[in-house]
Amino acid sequence: MAKLLITNIGLLATPAGREAKAGAAQGDILKLENAWILAEDGVILEVGTGEPPMTEPGNGFEILDAGGRLVTPGLVDAHTHLVFGGFRQHELADKLRGKTYLEILAAGGGILSTLKATRAASEAQLTAKALAALREMLSFGVTLCEAKSGYGLSLEEELKQLRVVRNLQGTQPAELVSTFLGAHAFPPEYKEDHEGYVRLICEEMIPAVAAAGLAEYCDVFCETGVFTMEESRRILECGLAHGLKAKIHADEIDALGGAQLAGELGAVSAEHLIAVTEKGIESMAKGGTIACLLPATSFYLGADYAPARKFIEAGVPVALATDYNPGSCPSLNLQLVMNLACLKDRMTPEEVLTAVTLNGAAAVGRAATHGSLEAGKRADLVIWNAADLDFICYRFGSNLVRTVVKGGVPV
């Protein structure tokens, strides 16, 4: 397979290690000037500085000159609702008139509007649409992303969405990690029978998803008017019993206690966390749960920003993701998330880099192989139109990616 030598890296910036970084370590970024990276068969062989090895022509290595630019690991988007039919631009007017996200959902819009469009779309149509989104993500520097179901909300329709994720794996450069989110909303058929839907999830959907190997994670939207704490616990425990690791949309709008539950269950990550309490943060620290913050959603909803500094002080690793979805974050731009994390979550550029690389990889169970530039890891990286890390957290609204390398291949 291809051998690649990337030379003339002005600044190589990367976290190091094979697990999520918390506290002060979240800001520990290795910075190498005048660096090079040698990769073979998609894996990094060596990272060094100064004179690169084997630069003579004919040695079998493709040479990529980074032109003195910044190089970081490929970005990881650890929370996306990638697969859905339609969009929801028709809700913008209501939103501008002051209707909240939960009011739109309670009136049968929101997730339920996307439910109709997703059920109406074929697997091939959904695959083509998600593929276009993945291409855009890749253009922003994302080489690994999580993708949730949750717009089918019946056994067959959830399986259809998860098959779309599987269809996309290996057929285009970005890598995907699949999450079952049957507990995203109550479908119209179960509007008056929440118990019936929770049983359908636990007795039919989770066993079928697990048996088909269609997801690694089980997630729940634990929120007022959606899934209660009690229902969330039952569903996540059932997922765990079937080998699906836990994630939870927790304490986004109301502090129901999702963060406590996440810590108690040893969930891999809890998401949003805008309204998290001290107790929730403590529980997550104890349980080793990663805080996956989604500041572009705060931006779009006009909501507060999650207390990133509190998580860092409490020793909870912070990851950052887009939350790409048609309702609360119709954007695929993880670079914008990095800007917002600095400006609104008060994270340093170094902490932000760890959050969108190594900690994001840990949030999708890939920290051993992805998320940093070091020997033995995947050769997934970004060459930036930038000289340093501050620059990419400071400029916003432009795509600053020059070249994305995925598995040792420029894409």
Secondary structure in 3-state letters for 240-303: HHCCCEEEEEECCCCCCCHHHHHHHHCCCEEEECCCCCHHHHHHHHHHCCEEEECHHHHHHHCC
Binding partner of residue 326 among Zn ion, ligand IZC, none, CB cut-off 5 to 8 Å per kind: ligand IZC
Output 269 or 325, the one with its CB closest to ligand IZC. Answer: 325
Nearer to ligand IZC, 88 or 234 (CB): 88
The sign of the dihedral angle between the CA atoms of 219, 224, 226, 229 is: positive
Distance CA 101, CA 155 (A): 26
> Cβ 303 to ligand IZC, closest distance in Å?
11
Contact 271, 255 (CB under 8 A): no
The answer to the question of residue 326 lying near ligand IZC (CB under 6 A) is yes
Show the tokens assigned to 31: 């910075």
Distance CA 194, CA 186 (A): 7
Instruction: Judge whether 323 and 294 are in contact, CB under 8 Å.
Output: yes
- Which residue's Cβ has the minimum distance to ligand IZC? 327
Tokens at residue 131, please? 């593929």
Q: Does 296 bind ligand IZC (CB under 6 A)?
A: no
142: enclosing H helix or E strand: strand 142-148
Using CB under 5 A, which residues numbered 318 to 347 contact Zn ion?
Answer: 323
- Asked if 141 is part of the footprint of ligand IZC (rule: CB under 6 A), the reply reads no
Q: Which x/- pattern over 233-262 shows residues binding ligand IZC (rule: CB under 6 A)?
A: ----------------x-------------
- Selected from 217, 221, 227, 299, the binder of ligand IZC by CB under 6 A is 221
- The least distance separating ligand IZC from the CB of residue 326, rounded to whole angstroms, comes to 5
Q: How far apart (Å, rounded) are the C-alpha atoms in residues 363 and 291?
A: 9
52 lines the binding site for ligand IZC (CB under 6 A): no
Query: Which CB atom, from 260 or from 328, has the smaller least distance to ligand IZC?
Result: 328
Segment interacting with ligand IZC (CB under 6 A) among 25-33, 38-46, 280-288, 323-331: 323-331
- Nearest approach in angstroms of CB 220 to ligand IZC is 10
Which tokens in the block code for residue 365? 């169970």
Report in angstroms how near the CB of residue 87 gets to Zn ion at its nearest. Answer: 16
DSSP character at residue 249: E
Whichever of 118 and 260 has its CB closer to ligand IZC, that residue is: 118
Reduced to 3 states, what is the DSSP secondary structure of residue 351?
Answer: helix
Q: Which residues bind ligand IZC (CB under 6 A)?
A: 81, 110-111, 114, 221, 249, 325-328
